[in-house]
């Protein structure tokens, strides 16, 4: 058997080499595969056939073993398989069993208490306590500056957090005294607090300021602004009544602002709260948004409302049930 070693393969060259052997006639070899000796040449690669040794073949064949089971062991194995199948089915449909309300077969509008109860039931499958949020779709145009609403809703049952770290920009003795009376754990500063923020030390969740500190806090506007921590008069964080603002923050507030998609997303609590408490907070947020209605808008403001938990499905809410009789008139339902 002839063996040929070549770096490149040309069918015409190979046929010319074998022409004396083949009686002078030119033979065409396929351009992709040429058989030469015991090897197969494909393109520019030489692929050799490999066979398993006897030891490897024995190891490969010894992977499967047949075990004879007694009748009792066979019954136990079948019961275990049935239990695993039932457990898998229970995990798949466990969320629907915990609540009567399923997000797939829910009605068009759900009462707020039922939606809160369902959101809490869905959150029990998580390894942490999720937050409950409400999303509103408004009939506003964000391109108009007078229709971009923002504000604060005072939650009657709080946000569910234990404490909120607060820092206050104040220099006047009257403002400093009011802050000290409101709480001893509140950080009070002026130029030193500004220097810390410029260095990148943002250690507080809320920042308040007195009106006489506007020129000082303007230096940190680029740092606190993108994080939503800049004191603002519309949000009640730039005010003369610092003591009242601190007490309101500790009781629980939800800030909201119209997005570019004409929606508002606001937290109403956490899953550890009761459905009644979450429902009261959701009503407070809805009425606070309604109170920010622009003067140029005479039509219905809130179109739809949805409630959802972190990593959970959303439930469309019944606006009439949320606002009550007086709220329904305000919502123009």
Q: Tell me the pLDDT tens digit for each residue of 114-150.
A: 889 888 888 887 888 899 999 999 988 888 888 888 8
pTM given for the model:
0.59
Angle of the 173-182 helix axis to the 242-251 helix axis, nearest 10: 30
Residue partners of 311: CB distance under 8 A and separation at least 6 = 126, 130
Average pLDDT over residues 151-175: 85
Closest by Cα among 329, 325, 312 to 98: 312
Whole-number pLDDT of residue 34? 43
Residue partners of 330: CB distance under 8 A and separation at least 6 = 287, 290, 323
Higher pLDDT, 6 or 174: 174
CA distance 177 to 53: 90
pLDDT tens digits for 179-218? 888 877 888 888 888 888 888 888 888 888 888 888 888 8
Average pLDDT over residues 228-236: 85
Average pLDDT over residues 290-296: 88
In sequence order, the β-bridge partners of residue 42 are 33, 45
Strand 131-138: give its sheet, edge to edge: 263-270, 131-138, 302-309, 314-316
Is 49 in contact with 38 (CB distance < 8 Å)? yes
> Considering the chain, what is the average pLDDT of its residues?
75
């Amino acid at each position: 058997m002839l063996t040929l070693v070549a770096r490149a393969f040309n069918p015409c060259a190979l046929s010319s080499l074998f022409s004396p052997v083949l009686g002078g006639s030119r033979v065409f070899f396929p351009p992709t595969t040429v058989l030469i000796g015991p090897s197969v040449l494909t393109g520019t690669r030489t692929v050799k056939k490999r066979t398993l040794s006897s030891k490897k073949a024995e190891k490969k064949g010894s992977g499967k073993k047949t075990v004879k089971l007694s009748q009792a062991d066979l019954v136990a194995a079948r019961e275990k398989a049935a239990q695993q199948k039932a457990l898998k089915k229970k995990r798949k449909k466990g969320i629907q069993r915990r609540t009567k309300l399923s997000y797939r077969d829910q009605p068009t509008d759900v009462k707020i208490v039922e939606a809160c109860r369902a959101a809490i039931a869905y959150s029990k499958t998580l390894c942490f306590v999720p937050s409950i949020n409400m999303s509103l779709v408004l009939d506003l145009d964000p391109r108009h500056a007078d229709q971009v609403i923002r504000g604060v809703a005072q939650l009657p049952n709080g946000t569910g957090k234990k404490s909120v770290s607060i820092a206050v920009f104040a220099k006047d003795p009257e403002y400093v005294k009011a802050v000290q009376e409101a709480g001893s754990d509140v950080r009070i500063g002026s130029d030193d607090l500004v220097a810390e923020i410029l260095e990148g030390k943002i250690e507080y969740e809320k920042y308040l300021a007195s009106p006489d500190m506007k020129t000082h806090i303007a230096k940190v506007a680029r740092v606190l602004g993108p994080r939503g921590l800049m004191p603002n008069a519309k949000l009640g964080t730039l005010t003369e009544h610092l003591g009242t603002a601190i007490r309101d923050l500790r009781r629980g507030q939800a800030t909201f602002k119209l997005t570019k998609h004409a929606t508002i997303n606001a937290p109403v609590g956490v899953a550890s709260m009761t459905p009644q408490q979450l429902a009261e907070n959701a009503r407070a947020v809805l009425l606070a948004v309604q109170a920010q209605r622009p003067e140029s808008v005479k039509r219905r403001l809130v179109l739809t409302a949805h409630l959802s938990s972190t990593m959970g499905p959303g439930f469309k809410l019944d606006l009439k049930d949320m606002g009550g009789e007086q709220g329904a008139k305000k919502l123009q339902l």
